[in-house]
Every structure is written in C-alpha cells, then in structure tokens.
A and B are shown apart, each in its own frame.
Chain A
C-alpha cells in the first residue's frame, strides 16, 4: 500500500513540481472522503493538480467552469423529451463523475452553488422527484480566486464548512520553476500519467484511513486544540464538532500517507491549517494566522 501511495505522490509531483506538501494534503483530503477547495491565483496549477489526481487515481473526471449565468441544471443534468422514444430521458450533468473540478465556484449564483454543495454533502442528486446516486467515489475539487472579488458570490461559512480542506498552492520555488522551464511540458506529462490504483484499491485505502489508531493522549491534544479555538478571545467562532471530526479524519489520512498506523501530534499539526483555516473566524485576522498561533500556544502533552 505504502508503495502505491508514494508512487501516486511521485507521479503527481512530476506534473506539479515542488508542491509535494500540497499534493499530499489533496490526497489526504480525498482519502478522508472530503472535498477540497483550492484558493489561489490563476495559473498556479489548480487545474493541473485536479487533473493529475484524476489520472493517477483512475477516476472519471469532469470540469465545470462556473459563470454567473449558470443554472443548477447545467451541473446536475436535465430531463429532455425524446421524440424517438416518446419519453423523457435524463441527461446527466457534469456532476455525475468521480472527480469534479468546479472551477471558480464563487463566480456562479448562490442558487447554483448550493445545488452543487448539496450534491457534495448528500452524494446524491434529486431531480424531477427522482433521487439519483452519484458515482462512488465522488470528489469535488473547487477552486476560487481570492482576488478580483467583484462580481463574485462569496461562499458563506456554512458552505465553506462542506469542504474538508482549503489549500492554496502558492508560487513554486526557484528550483522547481527552473525544472519546469527545463523539463517536458507538464501537459504532455499529464497525458502520459497512468492510473496507479483502481476503484477497489482506493476504497481499500479509504477504509484503512478509518483504522488509523488515535490514542487517548492524542485525542486529549485534539480536545485542547478545539477548546482553545472556542475559548480564545482571538477567535470569534470556534471549531464546530464537525470541524473537529474533519480534523481527526484528515489527520488519519495524513498519517496513512506517511505510513503510520497511529496518529502523532505532527499529523494534526500538518493538516490543521488546511482543515481549520477556513472554519475559524475572527475580526480582521486570517484564519490561517489564527491556526498558526494556536499551534504554538496549545501544549501537546499537558494542559
């Protein structure tokens, strides 16, 4: 198993140079059956990451570019009357895929956003009174542009909470960028990527995540982190129980990626900025800064 995981990470690393940490986070998010929100400027490799993940994991992949005039039917699908058969037939929308890249999700109207977010949560779609299961596994990787917020619909906190993680890729290092210039075109590389795992394998990995052991000492630490987020005067809103659970799941996936059967405090700390950053709120201060302070303030061993 461990070999497969490192192969996956290595494969994506060929396409997305120097972003091993983010790649692992994205993988951990998928292994923990969560959805991923990537917040970054255009051209930083958001789409590449999503595409590469789909390729390597052998998942069916759809991409939707969100615009302000988009309607829920454009994502979910629509029933169309077919003259040949004299019946309505349902044409599945792009949401019926195993990995959906929702590009610039904040460009569309709240109505459309909520349709997608509902599908993310329920993993099923109800159209014309009929409930349709989405394929299994089902991942959504949504991206949004933090700048140029005019004409966008900011995702409300309740919607943000649906995403297990929010990451940003950031500029590559000098070496990585030089390698990018010198190496093969990433698009070519991307096309050459072969699936390293099948659906069964992926499900196996997901069930392994749930078996990662979390000891009492670690849960104490998790509790202290959560309590700190709720009691600290810096945070206006603390971590919800769902947030705390998300933290635990993501940390398990992270531990599995690193080949451990038990959780270490490092795992929590590694995923904490991505998991808690968009869930914490405060006046004026960014959530990830709060998380950073929290990590320094909360003692790992004793209260």
Chain B
C-alpha cells in the first residue's frame, strides 16, 4: 500500500499539480459569489490535503475518508439549498465533484479529467452572467485551463510563459472555428429547464409604491432599459414606459394585489378572461401611427415589462394584460429582449366600457383617513364640475406653490392630506399618489402607473438608454368618452422633469449621495455612455444571437438553408484556409530565388534525372559530368559542355557563358539521345 502510494505520488509532478490548482482557482473564483461558503473551505482543504500528499506528509485518503467526504458534501448541498432541481444546486454539485476530485488526483488521467471538468465549470459562469467582463474572464479561464493542459506534457512545457503562450496560440488558432460554429451550429433548446433561483433581490420598480421608494431609485444610474426604434420615434413627452399599474391603496402604500405572489398564477387572469371576448371584438388596428421598437431589459427578477401604451408584442413568452402592460412568463432573471408595437391611445377609437368590477377596483379607497383631501374633492363635485375640470383644478393647485424635490419631508399617517395642505414638497410618487387619491374621492376612476419616463440618446440616436433614475410614477384617469387618459401631475409642477429628465429638474439634489459626483464631469458621462454602447452592441450581436437570428444570418448568407449549402459553407473556409496555408508553406520554404545559371543547370539535372541519372545533393557539377560520361557515354560530351558553361557562368561570373548555357540546356533532350 505504502510503496504503491509513493509510486503513485510520483506520477503527477509538482508543476502539473500547481497548474491544475491554478486552473481550478481561476474557474471557481467568480463562482464563489454564488456558491455557499463551506464549499470554498472544502476546496481549500482538498487542495491542502493533495499538496500534503505531494510533500509526502500524508497518505492519499482511503475509501472511508472519501465516502465520508462525499456524504458530507451531499448533506451540505441538501442543507444549503433544500431543493435539487434548480440551477444553483446543480452548479454547486458540479463544483463539489470538482473539489472532491482533488483528493483522488493521482494519475495523468485524473488530471485531464479535472481540467475537462474545469472547462465545463467555466461555461456555467455564463448561466449567471453574460456581460463583457464575464466573457473576458471566461476567455482568461480558457487560456489558463488550456495552459494547464499543455503543462501536463512535462517539465519544459510547464514553464508559465511557455505554457501560456502555447495555450494562447492554440486558442488563437481555434478562433475561426469558434466563429464558424457560433454562426452555423444549431441552437438547441435546453433538454430540461431548470428554474433559476427566484430569491435574488429584485431591482428596479417593485410591486408596490410607498413614499420614498422612487427617491431610492433616483440614486442609481444603472441602466434599466435600452430601446431601439424601428421607424418613427415618439416625442420626448410621449416617452412613458409603463410597467405596472397600482389600483389598491391602503392609506400609505399603493400596490397591485396578486402581482407579487409568483409568476405562475397571475390573479388578474380572471379579469383577462372577462375581457377576452371584448378584446377579440376590438383588435388593434392594423394600420395607423404606431411605434415599433425593441426593448432590451436588464434583469429585474420580476415579470413585468415596460412599453408605451397600448403595447402588443409578438415575442414568445410576452403577453399583454388588461391594464395595457406587458408581462413575461417568468421573472426576468437575465437580460431580455422583446419586440413591441405600440398604438397611442388617441389613435384607437371607440373605447370599451369600464366593467363594474373594474370600476370598483379603480375607485377603491381606504375607509378612513385624509379627510381634507376628501373634503376638497366633495367641494369640487358640489360645484358641479366634470371629471376633466376637477383634474384641471387639482393640477392648478399643484401648480401653485408645490415644489419638486428629491428629498421630501417625512409624511405621517394622513400622507395625502399632509402633502396637499402641509409640506407641499414631493417627488413624483407623492404627486401621483395624492392625485389619484383625490380623483377617486371625487368619483373618477383613477390609477397610479409606475414605470420609466424619458431616456437618453446614445450614439446618434441609435438607441434610447433608460436608467434607474428615470423611474417615474404618474396617473391615469377614466373619462367616459376617451377611456384611460394619462395625467402626469409632476408635469404641472416641474415640466422640465418630463422634458429634460431628472438631472436637470433637480440638478442640486441629483445623485447627491454618490461618493464621487462623476455625473457632473462631462467626459466621464460620455465614457459611461460609450461603455453602455459597447454593452448594447455586445448584447445585440452576441448574447441575443438565438436560433431565430441565426436563421436570419444564414438565410442572408446562403439564400436558402439546406444541409448541402451548410456543408459547403462550413467546408469552404476550411479548405480555403488550408490552401492558403499550403501555398504559404510552399513559398516560405522555397528560399531566395536562385540565380539564372543555377536554374538552367537544375533544369539540366531534372532532365538527367528523367533519363535515369540523378545528381546527388553533394555532388559537384564536375563530378556529375564525369559520372554521366561514365554511365551514359552518349550524353557525356554534352553534359561536359553544359557543366563547363555552368561553371563559367555561376562561378567565374561570365555572362556569355550564361547565354551559352541557356542555349545548350534548351536543346538538351537526353531521352531522345538515349533512344
């Protein structure tokens, strides 16, 4: 046992082990963020044990220890995740097996197995992140793993520089194949779908709105949406990206019941059923002013999508809700791209009636609280004003003496009253909330809409970048003749917020809390936009290259997709590359061009070879001529002439001899003379 072990120990040299550990570290490093902490410890322990074995201080673990390690690891996974069929536990399982392999890393075969696993684990990184930095890191991982593979060959090739350059060379050679496969390889759907962990924190707009929530968002400059238009572009004041509709108010919080409790049972499905017949009666008009655009949404971990009213999307998994918003079939855990067509509401004539259920929903108010606001509303009704006039009165009120600020004073229990008749300082959510409350109190169906407003053009209007601080809340009221009408109370107070965005509306308070006021430096802002541009292109060209776009590209390249054409398309570049390589090798091995006399003499030699007498490499022309005279006496005199002329031309520098040589060789046909 001991002798066998010590013999085994010599099988994997030190460099080989270190390379494997380096590759493992490179692969696991970004995964450590997702993996449980004990797994990191386990990896360190396994590596330590293996190194101790190498130093001869410890034996390779026996079967018992290994079994215990496996049991512990599985128990650890079970305790950490409590469920098996999700993505994280699967990746963790892979990482665990990868880690445990270290304690039985004995032979060359084990080393190769571990490194192959490393490739696989490196690929799982892209399950979580698909951005450029991670892609670059993925390439780095591949370089290191390949270098580790190259280093397994032995001492000399294990030197870091050599192994890495070897690896880089190999990968560089593989790039054309990679590009080809990227374009041609069929995109297979997953064999089974593993749900991703839904527990990760949601970002962006949440399922409820309470005072202070949007001012949190206003501190983040992270991108939320990127919107590229195909054709007409809506004017800035129309750029309201609707995400969620809040109808329920509990006195403090606006929310939408049933939105947050999961993607599978979406409680408003019921209302959709009710309206199902109506929407078939009133399909969206086929023509008319509409906007076509493609939205790329960052991961939000919530199912709602963002679009202008009234949206329609043909992207798979996206459907419309009765509230004229879009939802995805599951929470958006990765960047998602979807195509949208929007019809402005004004363009759709003949709105349907509000059902009584909907009416109740949009008039709901808490039984008590905010008496002043209710009073104000009743006063307006008593004056006999129409809903539109009431709205106008309210906006007028906002217009007088209200200020738009990112740091509104804290509000107490009757938040609407305090805001309307007390502090009069607020953010979009305050305006939207109090507006909807008051309108409802006045008997007008109203609701709060949350989403994003505005956006910033990037790179000559290639796409519109909407950031988290563009988050906005506004209101919609139901007017009998016109249907749902958007009213933005913020616009009454601070029109520049709508026109120019938050940055100019609240210049002093904007992004005040950030450590460095980078947004104030124009150069940095431009750099950020540039970076966003690169990210956008990356997503457009690489990440979102799905089977549909693949078909498109192939169709454009090939005209028609048939197996034969595909085969030709794949083989042609390879054959072309090989031919070029062949030609290049031929040219590069030929060396400098020979002088004319030597070329003539070589012609003579070739003809002699065909006649059955080849010159040996080290045979001088003189010796060759002697041999010719000896073995083929009939050719002797001619060969002697040619040789003499060649020697004169090539070695004595006689130009006349060169001409003579050419003449002699031209008329020299040994085959004829022999016959």
Interface of A toward B, CB cutoff 8 Å: 213, 215-218, 261-266, 269, 295-303
Contacts and interface: CB of A to CB of B under 8 A. Distances in A.
A266 to B, nearest CB: 5
A233 B641 CA distance: 39
Contacts of B598: 217, 301-302
Contacts of A264: 620, 622, 647, 651
A299 B651 contact: no
B368 interface: no
Nearest to A217: B650
Given A215-B651, A261-B652, A300 B617 contact: yes
A265 B617 contact: no
A266 B623 contact: yes
Nearest to A299: B617
B619 A300 contact: yes
Interface residues of B, number: 21
B651 A300 contact: no
A217 B618 contact: no
Interface in B549-601: 591, 594-595, 597-598, 601
B602 interface: yes
Contacts of A262: 651-653
B601 A296 contact: no
Q: Which of B594, B620, B647 has the most CB of A within 10 A?
A: B620
Contacts of B591: 302-303
B481 to A, nearest CB: 95
Interface string B22-50: 00000000000000000000000000000
B621 A300 contact: yes
B621 A265 contact: yes
A215 B594 CA distance: 13
A301 B651 contact: no
Contact of A215 (B605, B619, B652): B652
B594 A301 contact: yes
B431 to A, nearest CB: 85
Interface string B600-625: 01100100000000001111111100
Contacts, number: 57
Contact of B618 (A213, A216, A298, A302): A298
Contacts of B618: 269, 295-300
A263 B594 CA distance: 18
Interface of B: 591, 594-595, 597-598, 601-602, 605, 616-623, 647, 650-653
A213 B619 CA distance: 21
A213 B594 contact: no
Contacts of B621: 265, 300
B652 to A, nearest CB: 4
Contacts of A301: 594, 598, 601-602, 605
Contacts of B619: 300
A34 B618 CA distance: 27
Q: Which of B591, B597, B652 has the most CB of A within 10 A?
A: B652
B617 A296 contact: yes
A296 B616 contact: yes
Given A217-B595, A264-B620, A300-B620, 10 more contacts: A215-B650, A217-B597, A218-B650, A265-B620, A269-B620, A295-B618, A296-B616, A297-B617, A298-B618, A300-B617
A213 B647 CA distance: 12
Contacts of B623: 266
A206 to B, nearest CB: 22
B651 A218 contact: yes
Contacts of B650: 215, 217-218
B601 A213 contact: no
A216 B652 CA distance: 10
26 contacts: A213-B651, A213-B653, A215-B651, A217-B595, A217-B597, A217-B651, A218-B651, A261-B652, A262-B651, A263-B651, A265-B620, A265-B651, A266-B622, A269-B620, A296-B616, A296-B617, A296-B618, A297-B618, A299-B617, A299-B618, A300-B618, A300-B619, A300-B621, A301-B598, A301-B601, A302-B594
B595 A216 contact: yes
B609 to A, nearest CB: 13
A303 to B, nearest CB: 5
B607 to A, nearest CB: 15
A299 B616 CA distance: 8
A256 B418 CA distance: 120
A266 B620 contact: yes
Nearest to B650: A217
A299 B621 CA distance: 11
Nearest to B605: A301
Contacts of A218: 650-651
A303 B591 CA distance: 7
Nearest to A292: B618
Nearest to B617: A299
A302 B602 contact: yes
A265 B652 CA distance: 12
Nearest to B652: A262
A302 B599 CA distance: 9
A266 B624 CA distance: 11
Contacts of A299: 617-618
Contacts of B616: 296
A119 to B, nearest CB: 37
A267 B656 CA distance: 23
B640 to A, nearest CB: 14
A299 B591 CA distance: 14
A213 B648 CA distance: 11
B617 A298 contact: yes
A78 B651 CA distance: 51
Contacts of B595: 216-217
B288 to A, nearest CB: 78
A241 B412 CA distance: 97
Nearest to B591: A303
Contacts of B605: 301
Nearest to B648: A262
